[in-house]
Amino acid sequence: MISDLPGDIGPLDPAVDELFRTLTSEPTPAELAGEQSAVAMFRANITPPASPATAPIPTRRLAAQPKPSVTRLFRRSPGWGIRLAAAVVIVLAVAMASAAYTAALPQPVQLLAHQVLGFAGVPNPARSAHTGGGNRHPHGAPTSRNSGSSPGHAPPGHSAPGGTPSPHAHKSATPGTSPSPPPSAATGRAQLSASASSAEIPAGSEVVIDGQLTRSGAGVQGVTVQLVERLVGHRLWHLGGTGQTTADGNVAITVAAVPANAVFRLRVRGVAHSVNVLVTVIPPITATLTPGAGGLRDVLAVSTQYAHRGNVVQLEVQTGGSWTYLRAKRLNGAGKTTFVISGRRLANHKVRVVLLATARHGASISNTQTVPPPS
């Protein structure tokens, strides 16, 4: 529909144009049904006109004022016509929307309103006609009279209101079959053991960590097992190696050149891990005796590896079949130190040096030396 008012605002939306054409078209016979009855009712309820005796008598007739024509108004204010047309469109749209939401329009107009304003919830007259025979929910939702189910329950295989599946929806379709038990119940919990080939090893040598992965008492084959380690006194774990389990679930992982006391653990991520295994390292230590002039002041040189500066070594002498402490010294940065021995006091006695244990290593004992008598 094209507006012919002054200041034309252009063509309207095609759907709105069609709606107006439908409203201004001739009525259908179905829409005129009951017209005579409605007219008779309207005429029967008209208020009778007031009698001349009670009619108000005007005291003074006002001078007739010339009424401005619509054409003059439009000529005086071109924008007024546009505002008037917009106001008419808005009033009609509001009235049509209210009637459309209540499905009170004739079926052709209601169908057109549904096509134009269906996104806003205007009902479809065809759907209302199909559901008009049943009972209606207070909010407009049709309900069945003989549904055979109580509110909040859904037929087998369907979802109940609110998205909750019906208890019958998950039943097996094959009779005589039962759901399989969960894997944890069927296979049991995995167990992983660990042990070291030796609890004490020379510092800098290798150690083998053996383990076995079992489930319900049987070995599990082909599983990757990780070996993690950390130094004693430290918190961080490091990956020390990996291995595959055999048919019996056994695994052996070798760690080369262990420099200090360490804790080892086997694990299968997300499945199981073993207990901690402590391996103590023993630093090698040697003692070399050099006789002094006349055998009065002999020098016992001590050397060790993997020990740190400040670690304590003790000089011991064997007397009566047991070892007796004489004195102690600390190692220097090179892991060395010396003891001066009197050949006159310790002649023909055996001596040795003991490296005391620390958090990094265990105690270590050197070789023995025999003190020669003075010459």
Q: What is the CATH number of the domain that holds 338?
A: 2.60.40.10
Please say whether the beta carbons of 359 and 233 come within 8 A. Answer: yes
Which are the contacts of 76, defined by CB distance < 8 A and separation ≥ 6? Answer: none
**Which domain range does residue 266 map to?**
188-281
pLDDT digits (tens, 9 = 90+) for 191-228: 999 999 999 999 999 999 999 999 999 999 999 999 99
Q: Give the side-chain half-sphere CA count within 13 A for 57.
A: 4
Any domain includes 52: no
> What mean pLDDT is reported for the chain?
74
- Domain boundary (281, 312, 330) is at 281
More confident residue, 250 or 105: 250
Any domain includes 116: yes
Task: Indicate if 265 and 192 belong to the same structural domain.
Answer: yes
Task: Indicate if 289 and 272 belong to the same structural domain.
Answer: no
Backbone phi and psi for residue 365, each to the nearest 5 degrees, phi listed first: -115, 135
Any domain includes 108: yes
What is the C-alpha R_g of the chain? 54
- pLDDT number for residue 285: 97
Any domain includes 255: yes
Task: Indicate if 267 and 291 belong to the same structural domain.
Answer: no
pLDDT digits (tens, 9 = 90+) for 155-180: 444 444 444 444 433 333 334 434 43
Any domain includes 233: yes
Region 127-137: what's the mean pLDDT? 46
More confident residue, 58 or 83: 83
- pLDDT number for residue 37: 76
Any domain includes 141: no
Which are the contacts of 138, defined by CB distance < 8 A and separation ≥ 6? Answer: none
Any domain includes 231: yes
- pLDDT of residue 151 exceeding 60, the answer is no
Task: Indicate if 288 and 305 belong to the same structural domain.
Answer: yes
Task: Indicate if 219 and 255 belong to the same structural domain.
Answer: yes
Kind of pairing, strands 190-196 and 238-244? unpaired
Could you tell me the sign of the dihedral formed by the alpha carbons of 36, 39, 43, 45, in that order?
positive
CA distance readout (Å), 128 to 107, 114, 123, 125, 260? 10, 12, 7, 5, 86
CA distance readout (Å), 207 to 280, 355, 357, 365? 10, 22, 20, 21
Task: Indicate if 296 and 343 belong to the same structural domain.
Answer: yes
Instruction: Provide the pLDDT confidence category of residue 266 given band limits of 50, 70 and 90.
Output: very high
Task: Indicate if 289 and 253 belong to the same structural domain.
Answer: no
Task: Indicate if 296 and 366 belong to the same structural domain.
Answer: yes
Written in H, E and C, the secondary structure of the chain is CCCCCCCCCCCCCHHHHHHHHHHCCCCCCCCCCCHHHHHHHHHHCCCCCCCCCCCCCCCCCCCCCCCCCHHHHHHHCHHHHHHHHHHHHHHHHHHHHHHHHCCCCCHHHHHHHHHHHHHHCCCCHHHHHHHCCCEECCCCCEECCCCCCCCCCCCCCCECCCCCECCCCCCCCCCCCCCCCCHHHHHCCEEEEEEECCCEEECCCCEEEEEEEEECCEECCCCEEEEEEEECCCCCCEEEEEEECCCCCEEEEEECCCCCCEEEEEEECCCEECCCEEEEEECCEEEEEECCHHHCEEEEEEEECCCCCCCEEEEEEEECCEEEEEEEEECCCCCEEEEEEECCCCCCCEEEEEECCCCCCCCEECCCEECCCCC
- pLDDT of residue 36 exceeding 90, the answer is no
- pLDDT of residue 338 exceeding 90, the answer is yes
Task: Indicate if 268 and 288 belong to the same structural domain.
Answer: no
pTM of the model: 0.50
Q: Amino acid letter at 125?
A: P
- pLDDT of residue 130 exceeding 60, the answer is no
Instruction: Provide the pLDDT confidence category of residue 101 given band limits of 50, 70 and 90.
Output: low
Task: Indicate if 299 and 251 belong to the same structural domain.
Answer: no
- pLDDT number for residue 293: 80
- Domain boundary (261, 281, 301) is at 281
- pLDDT of residue 347 exceeding 80, the answer is yes
> For the chain, what is the domain count?
3
Instruction: Provide the pLDDT confidence category of residue 6 given band limits of 50, 70 and 90.
Output: very low
- pLDDT of residue 45 exceeding 70, the answer is no
- pLDDT number for residue 358: 96
Residue 257 falls in which region: left (phi positive, over 0), alpha (psi -120 to 50) or beta: left
- pLDDT of residue 73 exceeding 60, the answer is no
Any domain includes 48: no
